[in-house]
Amino acid sequence: MATFRKNTRKPRKPARNGKKAPAKRSRTKRGRRRTGRSRLSRFVVPLVLVAAITGVYLLYLDHKVRTGFQGNRHAVPAQVYGRPLELYPGAKISPGQLEAEFQRLGYRKVTYPKRPAAWSRNRDRIIVRTRPFTFWDGQASGRYLDLDFRGGVLNSMVDGKGRPQALVRLETPKVGSIYAAHNEDRVPVDLDEVPEILIGMLISIEDRAFYSHHGVDLKAILRAVWANLKAGGVVQGGSTMTQQLAKNLYLTRKKSLWRKLNEAAMALIIERRFSKDEILTAYLNEIYLGQDGSRAIHGFGLASHFYFNRPLDELDLPKLALLVGIIRGPSLYDPRIHPERAGKRRNLVLDVLHRQGIVTAEQKNRAAKAPLGVVKRGKKGGSGYPAFLDLVRRQMRRDYRPEDLTSEGLRIFTTLDPEIQQQTETALSERLRKLEKRHRLPVGKLEAAAVVARSEGGEVLAVVGGRRAGYAGFNRALDARRPIGSLIKPVVYLAALMLPDRYNLVTKLSDDPIRVGGKDGSVWSPRNFDHKNHGEVPLHLALAKSYNVATVRLGMDVGLKRVLDLLGHLGIDRPVQAIPALLLGAVSLSPLEVAQIYQTFAAGGFRSPLRAIREVQAADGSKLQRYPLTVSQVAPAGSVYLLNRNLQEVVRSGTAKGLSAFLSDQLNVAGKTGTTNDLKDSWFAGFSGNRVAVVWIGRDDNKPAGLTGAQGALRIWGDIMRRTDPVPLDLPRPESVEAVWVDPMSGLRADARCEGAQEFPFIRGSAPDTDASCVAEANDPLSTLFKRIFK
């Protein structure tokens, strides 16, 4: 049965005219409701969209903050250290040289040293308290040392109880950092390493509400706005330390409203994610405090070294106040450029500290009178040794990724000797100026490079990449591959002397003209530098006088392949074209590569790959990798001995005799000049008893330098050696070598009594077995008597 719903709707009233009234009113209400909803949606939807975008952006910022904060605050560049200076009775070191080392280490000169890193001097007596230091082979505690000098030598060394000390190492000087491409450097500090007064200064000057706000301090912002309005300019900032940290970590220094909004948002996120101590530690290590050329100075640890050459925990009140004052404007208050302005800013900081009861009036007044104490600016780029650090980087890349070098805080102990480096730089720059003046060459056009290493072991002691040694740029010592000219000749002569059944030092060589045909039908006719030919000459004289024609004849007889193979054994691993011109130096090598060749000569035929690194440690001091000495014999000791005696003759009476103007003949150094066509390159390579060095002079545009090897590079080489106390070259004679008297005219065996006879070394069994006529005469008493009478 169907059911029907009762209609409860009231019937419409009929219209007055009897017609049915339209439902106009109801439709109007529904339309108004729809219009209201559409208007509301026009506001709500964008708001929701903005909120969603803002939320997503804040999530992005949160991710950026978390990953960046954890990553960037631990991105610590590798710290590079030089050699430690060893002190022992008998060490050849003067008080002045030791003072220079103290300056490199940032030690203070005082009346009497009571704290570490301080020293005093009274004539030839020095008292020092050293810092503790972790070397690659263990921890060394700080020491009290009383040093007495006599005549440029350390005469005695005792500790605080008067006990003699046999050997003490000073800490290794820091010589640079390896930082990333954005050129940010740091010396990280932990919160417990920072002087307490520095924390108080930062809170008082930069962020009084640091421990109470949540990243942004509205009161400080309003206070800064009011102060700036009254002053008519920006005199006060309202950023908290957390905001400053956000700016340093993630944002640019360009001022804009968008950057300030991002800065505030990031500050709030940082405060939510990390503790106050973590934020403060990051601030101490990240705040921007200056610029050193292209290198940005971040953090108080690095700024302490940059401005004062001391660790942060050794700074006193006025120096700490200066660093805090610099925060407001590192360029504006740069104490080296604007010392008066920086001093006023420091004193303003001291006034605030006094008003807040952090320092007494006496402390404030004494600190305000103190000098700024800023050391002279080091060479730009963060290191005075860019060429050497370049070598360190290249050797490190064999075992480490680039990001490891720039972010893991590695400690790299190197072989650099800062004293030898300094003397090499000085000799090179001063001599270049003198050469340009003496030979009337264009001022500033000559360039040069130098490498100094230990003869035994191949430890690189100094690298100079150009006349402006302290500036990073093209490293000529490593990358300027230039024809080496006559520096190749010892390789040719050694290849011959390794064939003792065919060649010895007195073997006659022809210096008559020669024509060498090429595969393409061309003919090469080498000439001597003096444009003369000298007939038959003994092998030793051909090298001493650097005769080109005799050398080419010798090399062609020995064979190009043999010369090339020997060049490879001596350490040259690059492809070299097997052409006759190779015998006169038509091979382009860098000064470092040439140093490797001559190191092998200096070590008696034992090659040690040139190395700049001793050991690498992790940031916590644990050992990562050692770079031990490796030695391989690549040439017979006897043959190399003969060559080295010949190279001593080059210096004594050959093309390098000009060294006598710089060095005593008693040093018996060995070496070889090198000159290339049109005088484009000037070379000298040689060695003393303890060091091998190579010098190159030329022009970057490859135009003629206008100098022979003897006129140019030899003079820098001699000046370097003169300044660095070389050890005499005493060549121990191998068992395979014997000394035999020879008549230089005939090349036959002679006797000590023969007139004009000379003693030469020979590989046993290779000396002349035929006696010269003078031997029989020397053994005939009657003949000797007649000679004396008629003489």
Catalytic residue numbers, as ranges: 206, 486
Strand segments (E) across 110-268: 118-122, 125-129, 133-135, 138-140, 144-150, 153-158, 168-169, 174-178, 184-185
Number of other residues whose CB lies within 10 A of the CB of residue 388: 31
Q: Is the dihedral of CA 728, 729, 735, 740 positive or negative?
A: negative
Strand 606-607 vs strand 632-633: parallel, antiparallel, or unpaired? antiparallel
- What gap in Å lies between CA 689 and CA 669, rounded to an integer? 7
Residue type, 600: T
Instruction: Read off the amino acid at residue 747.
Output: G
**Radius of gyration, CA atoms only, the chain:** 39
Write out the DSSP string of 241-254: HHHHHHHHHH--S-
456: left (phi over 0), alpha (psi -120 to 50) or beta: beta
> How, if at all, do strands 108-109 and 118-122 pair?
parallel
Question: The tokens of 149 are what?
Answer: 């000098």
Q: Which residues contact 462 (CB under 8 A, 6 or more apart)?
A: 388, 416, 417, 420, 421, 424, 425, 450, 451, 452
Displacement of CA 671 from its chain's centroid (Å): 27
Beta strands in 198-318 (DSSP E): 288-292, 295-298
For residue 243, what are the CA distances in angstroms to 62, 208, 235, 280? 15, 14, 18, 12
Tokens of 735: 């068992």
Task: Provide the CA 46 distance to its chain's centre, in angstroms.
Answer: 58
What separation, in Å, do the N-terminal and C-terminal C-alpha atoms of the chain show?
169
**Beta-sheet pairing, 460-464 with 168-169:** unpaired
